[in-house]
Amino acid sequence: MALRSQLSWLDRIEYPFRSNFLATPDGNMHYVDEGSGEVILFLHGNPTWSFMYRNLIKRLSKEFRCVAPDYIGFGLSDKPFSVSYLPQFHAKNVETFIEKLALRKITLVIHDWGGAIGMSYALNHPENVERLIVFNTSFWPVKGIMSVEIFSSLFGGPLGRLLCRYFNAFPRFVIPYAFGDKSKLTKSVHRHYIEPFPTTESRKGTWVFPKAVVGEGEWLATLWEKRRRLVDKPVQFLWGLKDPAFSTRELNRWKSAFPNHRTMVFPDVGHFVPEELGPAAVDPIEAFLKANPSPVARNAESSYIGHDKWNTG
């Protein structure tokens, strides 16, 4: 497939990564796989894709293996109209993706719907997740929060379906609305979120997610009930305080569930934290990773030190 020639809008200087594809029963899942070493798995939300993590991947891939899939229906992956696009669908695909690539001892980076999707895997396979890096997200039911119910009803209902399908509403209008500093969303960057959805049928996934905010509350409740399986994992929160969707209320709930955490808040950053912070997110993440080495890294270091001492006699 001559992907490069088909994607004339894709800036390969901004996003210089080799494209990989995993065949699934519902189409080809695109992913980035850069660097080597411990695995960092980046999971996006709606309506973003691996492009959002490009600045982190460029830097962190010098020391780590950075893997970032685009869910079916998003980014450079196939977008069949016939699938459900429910978060459970994506969670199952992510689990298969991790198994097929044999990803082990993962540091999980999550944002937006990547929170519930990633936590679904982590809660079912806590032994394979070493650390969590959390941008604005949640993984619990939100029924009863009026503003959230209104949002879900509007964008997940008939009007939302029309706006998403015929006006590409989420990337065109919701992304700039949710930025804390709108000057950071350049036309060039914004284009990379609009262009992956060129047709009315390709946009179904962007509509299903807001509907699921309330509609999939029972599934979200099952995730929250299992939260103690990860209670001892080290967690880094990087939280934008100008987010219209996720406030300090959600951050505090995260912090109460995971006491082994570091927290950085950004007063002028909105919802799309990795995009808004860009390279500025790298230093706190590197500091967190070094302060919380995985058992694999600790064992390797111990082996090296022991070997070095033996050699010097």
271 is catalytic: yes
112 is catalytic: yes
| Structure-derived torsion over alpha carbons of residues 16, 22, 28, 33, reported in degrees to the nearest 10 | -20
Nearest by Cα to 286 from 311, 312, 264: 264
The 3-state secondary structure of 72-118, one letter per residue: CCCCCCCCCCCCCCCHHHHHHHHHHHHHHCCCCCEEEEEEECHHHHH
283 is catalytic: no
* Catalytic-labelled residue, pool 271, 283, 307, 308: 271
* Catalytic-labelled residue, pool 26, 33, 70, 112: 112
Integer Cα distance of 241 and 235 in angstroms: 18
Nearest by Cα to 107 from 300, 305, 294: 294
- Kind plus residue range of the DSSP H or E element containing 49: none
**Tokens linked to 249:** 């209320």
* Catalytic-labelled residue, pool 243, 261, 268, 308: 243
Enumerate the active-site residues. Answer: 112, 243, 271
